[in-house]
Structure 1
Amino acid sequence: MRWSRNSSNAVPARGWLPSLVWLIPLAAALVCIGLAYRSVSERGPAIVISFPNAEGLEAGKAAVRYRDVDIGSVTAITLAPDRSHVLVEVRLTESAKRFAAKGARFWIVHPRVDAGGVSGLGTLLSGAYIGADAGHSHETETRFTGLETPPAIGTGEEGAQYVLHGDSLGSVDIGSPVYYRRLQVGRVTGVTLDKDGAGVTLNVFVGRPYQQYVGTNTRWWQASGLDLRLDSNGLQLNTQSLAAVMLGGIAFQGPPGETVGEAAAGGAVFRLARDESDAMRHDDGPPAQVVMRFSQSLRGLSVGAPVDFRGIQLGEVTKIGIEFDPKTREFTLPVTLNLYPDRLGQRYRESVQHRDASAGKALLVKLVASGLRGQLRTGNLLTNQLYVALDMFPQAPTAHVDLNRRPIELPTAPNTLQELQVQIADIAKKLNQVPFDQIGNNLDSALANANLLLRQLDTQLAPQARDTLASAERTFNVAQAVLQQDSPLQADMHRALTQLTQTLRSLNTLADYLEQHPESLVWGKGRNAN
């Protein structure tokens, strides 16, 4: 740069022009300002979510997603002051500000295997993230409590929810499928234990349009496991699907022979049966509780065992106990049963309904007097499972029923095996009373006397018997010698017989002559006689 000579002040020789080098940082600054403005303008609200733990989450990397679209990111993870949970700070985008509304739900997504299936496998490569579901409220919130598991029903999913009450949960869990005619139409959304601890309550969701098949008369049952039956039709195996067998499930359907009827409203309450046969059974009315006392072993009898009357199930066993009687100093085994009298048939129900309330009790007294008894019988020879059989035993000892006792106690009869055991015990007792020692001693004495008698026979009678036998032998030898053909006696007898024959012939000739000449006896034989 050159300066002018005539000027008292030093001025540049030509005008100042900015260097091109300054344009590069200026452009970078403008870009940063633009990005910062864009970032600030697109920033949504900041919220804090509490989780039991921050498994898999990392500040600055973990995202917040809805339907696999990023709607925010995790900015910080801190431990709560009481160290019972963690606080995850999240910055949402401007377009996702609705997720800061009251009712929004958040949960951590990572690989999970549950009753609903396998989910979150993509996080094996990308890492865990926070799943989100928007709320419908217009009120905003900044603090949320995260869910431990993903929600069973997403926002906007149409359908209806129902409440089921059952005795036990079985293998059903949140996310287990719900089936209608073996088609999955919903899932279990919640499981809680009743306040009294006597059962469980399940919330189920049935999606559209299948909720129209849920009527006021619909029956629900646990469809998990295998239903294996062996009857007169052969071996039958019933199950909903392989998923229901492995993970559990619930099925519903209308009663056989009936239509769906009036549709059930959302939130309707139903009974959850143990299996399909229990669910489809006709309503038998309230049960009558009775007690039977047995003295034999109850090994093989379990709660839920059927109470059978000639092949018809009238109830089931509800309780098995043991009691000690201080008077008799014996133990008894009381078995509590639930009986359903309405299962005895339409005529029984009509006969009881048309009469006063004591008709049923009077009939029970008559049946017991006629021999109605309870008996334990073996239902399965392979498993040795027992059941309670009600039957008539006309020869049973007389028994009475106390109708004022609660619950009513019915008399029992021993089974065939127990009677056989009693008979064998009686026989053994009688055999034990036989004096086998005395009989043995008497038998030893008798054998000794017999041995002495034999010795006397051998020493005294045997020599005489041998002499007699020798004399008899000599006599037989003489007789044999006399009877031989060449013996003198035989020759003499032969000559004597010959002479006797000749004499008989002469006498025969004389008799013929005298018959012809009887006068010869007087005059003698004439000269001309031959």
Structure 2
Amino acid sequence: MKRNALLVGGFVVAALVLIVAGLITLGGSDLFAKRQKAIVYFQGSVRGLYVGAPVSFRGVKIGEVQSIGVEVDPKSLVTLIPVGMTLGSDTLKMGDEKGGSFRNLPDLVQRGLRAKLIIQSVVTGQTGIDLDFKPDTPVVLLGRGATESPEIPAMRDRLDALLDQVSELPLADVVKEVRQTLSSLDATLKVTQQTVALSGKEIGATAAQARQTLAVGAKALQDVQAQANATLASVAQLSEASRNVVLQTQPEIQLTLQSARDAAQAAQQAMGNVAELSAVGSPLRADAELAVRDLSLAARSLRSFADQLERQPNTILFGKKAP
């Protein structure tokens, strides 16, 4: 019996040792870390948060969620979700003390300690709580000292704030305006397509006319080129004929020019003779002047006789009366 009792006692002691070793292995030194309770009040949804969810400080786990509840004000129907946490880990070091907890938590809250929900996995949708110092945010305590655990103010996630801003936007009006704009764009595109189609036809017709005009112009240019070639050939023939005529008539022209020179010399000689005859003191000029005087006297006599006949026509019958 004693031997059996010793065996049973040995098994019990071994089992206890294994249990303690398992706890130490699984729990690590967190079993001996100093822990502190805290609470956070959330106003919005805590979907994905569960008991045992990690509580971290800038991504480093320092605790876990112990409880999740719901508090509703019967008058205002304002709903709060208190989340209880335990803080403390061997990774947490406050000053020179390692493996401790947040000392003087209310003072840290006044200096900017805040809590917010974070997503652990997009696939599973599980969330956790992350702590950080945000001294630029106000201290808003919702529990008002209802529990003995110190309260850490909850900080709204940027996504929640963005969703609130989006919910305040006049999305219905925006969608309506977008639909109207799309309708206008659709109509404009249809008109543009019709215009492009008509323009394509007109451009095709214009291109055909242009090609026809270019063909006519090319033919006209060919005709002009042919006429120009013929004209140039005629001009060349005329130039050749003119050169031949000039060569053939050159002797006759030279004879004519020689005759003209001789005639000019003879005329010049005759003019010289006339000048010599009409010079002052020459006999011919004296005879000419005498003849001119005689003619002048004869003319005066005839004029006097004519005047007499005009006054006395019978003079021709009876003669001139004596004075």
TM-score, normalised to structure 1, is 0.33
Give 1 or 2: higher helix fraction: 2
TM-score, normalised to structure 2, is 0.49
